[in-house]
């Protein structure tokens, strides 16, 4: 048996939040660009460059969210939800590129220091941009987790990384004001680049695992096993349980072994009950069950076969 029902996310809502991310990126580019123009700080320049990455990532996330919301069709029977992993992976790649650009620029400034100007005003402007990213980032993470949108959640995490980057830059430039050590500016930019590299690596790793059909999280697998346990007292056995997650969609297959004397109707009713219990503990999961006679030795030869 199979459950062909889909659990399409409210695409219009997710698209609206993706547009919000684009708007925030455009606004912070303008704000941080002004801060850099006023101060000539490489630290603030690195912060502004990361906002360009935010913008590119938000645009890709918007297109992938739209694609992922498409219903299954004849060519893509399991839907388009994995498209969100491409958005997350693209964002990770852009982050790595931005980190390299920031590091090279900072190294050049470290070798040829330059006096900074109007730092007080520049820092105030940068702080305003960080506040905007903080609000939008936390909102995107919350919505992404609620709606199982990895693209939106990744975008939110990136914005939060931008917030911490801005905080580090602001603290470093305050130290420049207090000490007069101009070399602190490019040094903090290099530290920002290292932090961005780590963020990009994590996003790429998560996207790779998603494209490799990683199993559902351990708590959900344990909940499924617990749900199946109550049927074992009725002479029913299970094996070949497999799960996978594709962004906002979840899939599960399992072989169900019952007495061969059962009627087709009785077996069908049992599978309906099992699938309902699984969906109760993993909401929205697409379930595929395979019924087999428990007395037949052949039923136990497919424990490890990829038949589902």
Each domain of the chain, given as residue ranges in start order, spans 11-211, 218-300
Does 218-300 carry CATH code 3.30.70.1350? yes
Widest CA span of the chain, in angstroms?
A: 88
- CA contacts within 13 A on the Cβ side of 291: 19
Contact assessment for residue 242 and residue 308, using Cβ atoms and an 8 Å cutoff = yes
> What Å distances lie between residue 68 and 9, 117, 170, 293, CA to CA?
9, 47, 38, 39
Q: What is the pLDDT along the chain (308 residues), one digit of tens a residue?
A: 544 444 444 455 777 888 888 888 888 888 877 877 777 776 677 667 767 777 777 787 787 777 777 777 777 777 777 777 777 677 777 777 777 777 776 676 677 666 555 667 777 877 888 888 889 888 888 888 787 777 777 778 777 877 877 777 777 777 777 777 777 767 777 777 787 777 777 777 777 776 777 788 888 889 999 889 888 878 888 988 888 877 667 889 999 999 988 999 999 999 999 999 999 988 878 899 999 998 878 777 766 555 44
Is 289:274 a contact under the CB 8 Å cutoff? Answer: yes
Separation of alpha carbons 82 and 96, rounded Å: 22
Q: Which CATH class is domain 11-211?
A: mainly alpha
How far is residue 254's CA from residue 275's CA, in Å, rounded to a whole number? 10
DSSP H helices in the chain: 11-39, 42-68, 83-111, 119-146, 150-179, 184-211, 218-232, 264-281
Cα angle 283-286-287, degrees, rounded to a multiple of 5 = 105
């Amino acid at each position: 048996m199979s459950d062909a029902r889909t659990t399409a996310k409210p695409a219009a809502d997710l698209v609206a939040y993706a547009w919000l991310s684009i708007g925030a990126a455009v606004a912070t580019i303008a704000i941080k660009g002004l801060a850099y123009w006023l101060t000539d700080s490489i630290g603030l320049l690195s912060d502004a460059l990361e906002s360009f990455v935010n913008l590119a990532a938000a645009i890709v996330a918007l297109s992938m969210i739209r694609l992922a919301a498409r219903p299954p069709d004849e060519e893509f029977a399991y839907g388009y939800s994995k498209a969100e992993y491409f958005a997350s992976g693209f964002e990770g790649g852009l982050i790595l590129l931005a980190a390299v650009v920031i590091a090279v620029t900072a190294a050049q400034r470290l070798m040829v220091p330059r006096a900074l100007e109007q730092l007080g005003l520049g820092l105030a402007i940068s702080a305003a941009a960080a506040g905007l990213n903080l609000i939008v980032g936390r909102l995107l993470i919350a919505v992404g987790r609620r709606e199982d949108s990895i693209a939106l959640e990744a975008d939110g995490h990136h914005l939060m990384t931008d917030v911490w980057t801005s905080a580090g830059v602001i603290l470093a430039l305050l130290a420049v004001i207090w000490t007069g050590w101009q070399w602190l500016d490019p040094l903090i930019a290099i530290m920002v680049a290292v932090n961005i590299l780590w963020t990009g690596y994590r996003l790429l790793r998560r996207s790779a695992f998603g494209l490799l059909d990683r199993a559902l999280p351990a708590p959900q697998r344990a909940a499924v096993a617990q749900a199946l346990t109550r049927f074992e007292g009725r002479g029913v056995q299970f094996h070949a349980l497999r799960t996978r997650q594709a962004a906002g969609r979840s899939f599960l297959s399992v072989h169900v072994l019952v007495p061969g004397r059962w009627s087709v109707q009785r077996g069908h009713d049992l599978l309906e009950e099992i699938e309902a219990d699984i969906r109760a503990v993993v909401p929205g999961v697409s379930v595929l069950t395979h019924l087999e006679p428990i007395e037949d030795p052949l039923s136990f030869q497919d424990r490890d076969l990829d038949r589902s």
